A and B are shown apart, each in its own frame.
Chain A
Amino acid sequence: MSEQAPVAETISPTEEALELLQKRFKKTVRRDDREGYGGIVVDASRLEKVAAAIHDDLGYDYLSSATAVDYLGQGDHVEMVYHAYRIAGGPALVFKAQTPRDEAVLPTLTGVWPGVDFQEREAWDLMGIRFDGHPNLKRILMWEGFHGHPLRKDWHEPFFEEELKPFGSRWPDGHVQRSEEHNPYGKNVQYPAEWSPEAYESPAEPAIYDNINLGVDVRTDLATDRVIVSLGPQHPSTHGVFRMVVRLDGETIEGLEPVMGYLHRNHEKIGERNTFIQNMPYTDRLDYICSLSNNLGYAISIEQLMALGARYEPPTYRAEVIRVLMAELTRIVNHVWAIGFLLNDLGAFFTPMMYAVIERELILDFFEATTGSRMMCNYMRFGGVAADIPARIRGVANLINDRVRDMNTMDYLHSLIHERLPRAIDQLDEYLTTSEIMTNRCMGVGVLTRDDAIAYSAAGPVLRASGVPYDVRRAEPYSIYPDLDFDVAVRYHGDVYDRYLVRLDELRQSIRILKQVLPLLNDTDGQPVFTGRGVYSPRVPAGESYGRVENPKGELGFYVVSEGKQNPRRYHVRAPSFINLTALEQMCKGHKVADVVAILGSIDIVLGETDR
């Protein structure tokens, strides 16, 4: 355990960086002076050198997010946006590089921050930016052979109606129409005019095995075969529809490539058609175990933008207290779930998971009473939360012995936070921490060193189990976390076992936070919980923002570009589950194939967020 003090910044990171970089790179580095924007713009030709200087000389060793924006009609370029941080804490340095739309090429930064690997592949797949020198530039979310780069502004999906919602066909007249009836195939498909399925060989599967030596090579001295194993997408231990292609020598892993996109639901494309508030329920479905903390991240990023304009009132203290209450309860839900499933992956089938899920149900009862839904809460708003917590919890649907349960909410929370949950956590600790299954299969397995964890942009428990006390709640505090007393959990071995221990520690810290939050809830009773104007589409001034929160799985970020319209121009999610997978191969190499499952379980991914 160690306490991490917030770093006080006197000079803005952009000024500091500009001063140093302009001295060295002259005019190829300039300030981004579009209204509402910040950071620096780097000439594509010097991007690699400048990035290296930012990493080595300025000390921005942690690249949180890299994403692309299509500025069709506003200069007709696509722009890569990078958010770099110092692992010691503090605000981001944002730098950008632009390249023309029809010939989009940029140098890869995998040499500087290896963690950018998948994010560059995503930018290639969805936005069509080719990265020179990238070691494995294949599509990542869609399949190889798919036509077009769907996040381009001029690319239209088969069920396309209009650029922006609300669609004229549905509002204000509001008649029903079935998109299927407008498509000759009755399906959500479109084909290039000249394409014909006859004699067509789909490149989707072969492309997955590109770069992997398929030939079986018998090494006589060891008497083992080289084989390629494809795990998933339907596999009981891949936590959803995740797939890995593993190259084995005997049972030892030589290489591993994650294959994803089986749950790519086009969150960002849909999000760019939606109005700002319409995206809130979609964020629930990112990391569907932690919907409330996703809501919080999105609300924060939009509030940042709204704060640029006039007539914005920040949320009241009570609203912030409720937000933290929800976020920490969500963390408990997630971590008990993750621990239960880790044990499942280790072969301790179902029993630990069953215990974990019991506690989850109790918390979900509270969520249901407050937000109206067990899982998809859609609860936070720009400027507060949708409703105050109710006075009583009535379990109408969950009858026990035919009795409707009717409890005072504060009493319920009190007994949950002070008795029930701490006891459950102690129980998990007591039964699991010293269990042979845990110790034998987890200690020393899947080690990620401190330097690798930072370089690969790992986040959350994965990063903290490798000895890096980095927690957004402390490094760049938001909401009321500065007022709260808690430690950043950290462990130092970087193996599966330590990731489990970090989660246990975090569970205890969450309880500690919740114990401080309860009296605050009582103190602020009666304050309003929403300060915004209750309108269907709030005004969001033009500009960009990157809001991030410490989600249970790691740093969740929302990069939003607004043009002052009802809808965002760009809406990007920095998904911790997705980026944590970049280091999966690093963790697995040299271990046995059975360990992959344990290592994957210890990263704790959720596919809704990985694939979006």
Chain B
Amino acid sequence: MTDNDFLKELHNPDVPVPEGMQSAVAVTNIGRLMDSIYNWGRRNSIWPMAFGLACCAIEMIATAASRYDQARFGMEVIRASPRQADLMIVSGTVTKKMVVPIVRLYNQMPEPKYVLAMGACACGGGPFKEGYNVVSGVDKFLPVDVYVPGCPPTPQALLHGFIALQKKIDAQSLGNYNSVPWYGRGPSDAIPVPVLGPDLYDPRQGHIMRRQHEAAQSAAQDKQADA
């Protein structure tokens, strides 16, 4: 973005500026100025978590390496601890066994936090979708900000996903609590950790399970009544 574009973006179009000064003057309010400075800082220092799940992780590493060089996005600081990370790149197949630690890791990340689903598996189950141990998409449990399709997505596609994330951050405004909830209230609620029972159980689905039990019971009663 050139300086000129930057000014134009900041400028409030309702306030006229004389012809010759348009490239040097912007009239704006403090909120917008703060937004742009704030977002500029955040968008260029997204620290991803070192966290590879499957095949897609290999392409993620290739993206971090010299040819594709994700350092250009200020993203070369890859942290092993969720406490220091802003971005979780879900790079690969999410299995039922693995989704438990994934939800925990997500809960441990400080806000603001973003999730990028990389590859067909993380987006919707991918080639292994029908497998008995496969979660069909990480968005069944976590809110996902950017989806990058592909199997695996090429490094270029992943870079495109990073750019999409930056755009998303750019659109967030400090004045609008809905877009930056973490500055408004206290910490947001943790996502309930799934349970490894006879199959994976999501505690948020208790009502469905109760409904199923009731339906089964009444079916059994009907049968008895018939007999």
Chain A interface residues (CB < 8 Å from chain B):
141-143, 145-147, 150, 157-161, 179-180, 184-193, 195-197, 200, 202, 204, 233-236, 240-241, 261-267, 269-270, 273, 281-282, 285, 288-289, 353-354, 357-358, 360-361, 374-376, 397-398, 607-608
Contact = CB atoms under 8 A, between A and B. Distances in A.
A294 B212 CA distance: 44
A170 to B, nearest CB: 12
17 contacts: A146-B196, A150-B132, A160-B130, A180-B136, A187-B205, A188-B132, A193-B216, A196-B213, A200-B197, A233-B101, A240-B54, A264-B97, A282-B127, A285-B127, A361-B67, A375-B55, A376-B151
Contacts of B201: 189, 191, 197
Given A146-B198, A180-B136, A234 B61 contact: no
Contacts of A375: 55, 58-59, 152
Contacts of A376: 55, 151-152
Interface of B: 50-55, 57-59, 61-62, 65-67, 80, 92-93, 95-98, 101, 105, 125, 127-136, 140, 151-152, 154, 156, 195-203, 205-206, 208-209, 211-213, 216
A281 B132 CA distance: 19
A398 B93 CA distance: 27
Contacts of A358: 65-67
A157 B53 contact: no
A157 B130 contact: yes
Contact of B133 (A142, A353, A398): A142
Contacts of B97: 142-143, 261-262, 264
A195 B199 CA distance: 10
Nearest to B82: A234
A515 B93 CA distance: 38
Given A261-B97, A357-B61, A375-B58, A236 B92 contact: no
Query: Does more than half of chain B's interface fall in helix, strand or loop, or is it mixed?
Result: mixed
B198 A191 contact: yes
Nearest to A193: B216
Contact of B136 (A179, A269, A289): A179
A235 B52 CA distance: 9
A185 B197 CA distance: 15
A196 B127 contact: no
Given A184-B212, A282-B127, A197 B206 contact: yes
Given A159-B129, A354-B65, A375-B152, A234 B199 contact: no
B53 A240 contact: yes
Contacts of B80: 235-236
Contacts of B98: 233, 241, 262-263
A428 to B, nearest CB: 16
> What are the nearest 7 A-B pairs in CB distance?
A266-B131, A288-B55, A147-B198, A157-B132, A204-B196, A357-B65, A236-B80
Contacts of B105: 234
Contacts of A185: 202, 205, 208
A187 B128 contact: no
Contacts of A200: 195, 197
Contacts of A146: 196, 198-199
Nearest to B128: A265
B198 A263 contact: no
B95 A269 contact: no
Nearest to A198: B206
A262 B93 CA distance: 10
A270 B131 contact: yes
B223 to A, nearest CB: 14
Contacts of A270: 128, 130-131
Given A143-B97, A159-B129, A266-B134, A195 B197 contact: yes
A196 B209 contact: yes
A451 B151 CA distance: 42
Could you say which of B197, B198, B202 has the most chain A C-beta atoms within 10 Å of its C-beta? B197
A202 B201 CA distance: 11
Could you say which of A236, A262, A608 has the most chain B C-beta atoms within 10 Å of its C-beta? A262
Contacts of B65: 353-354, 357-358, 361
Nearest to A341: B61
A329 to B, nearest CB: 16
A188 B134 contact: yes
A202 B95 contact: no
A266 B209 contact: no
Given A188-B132, A270-B131, A357-B62, A265 B216 contact: no
A240 B66 contact: no
Nearest to A232: B101
A195 B198 contact: yes
B132 A158 contact: yes
Nearest to B141: A187
B151 A288 contact: no
Contact of A608 (B54, B131, B199, B200): B54
Contact of B154 (A141, A289, A374): A374
B105 to A, nearest CB: 6
A321 B96 CA distance: 42
B29 to A, nearest CB: 41
B92 A263 contact: yes
A608 B134 CA distance: 13
A270 B140 CA distance: 22
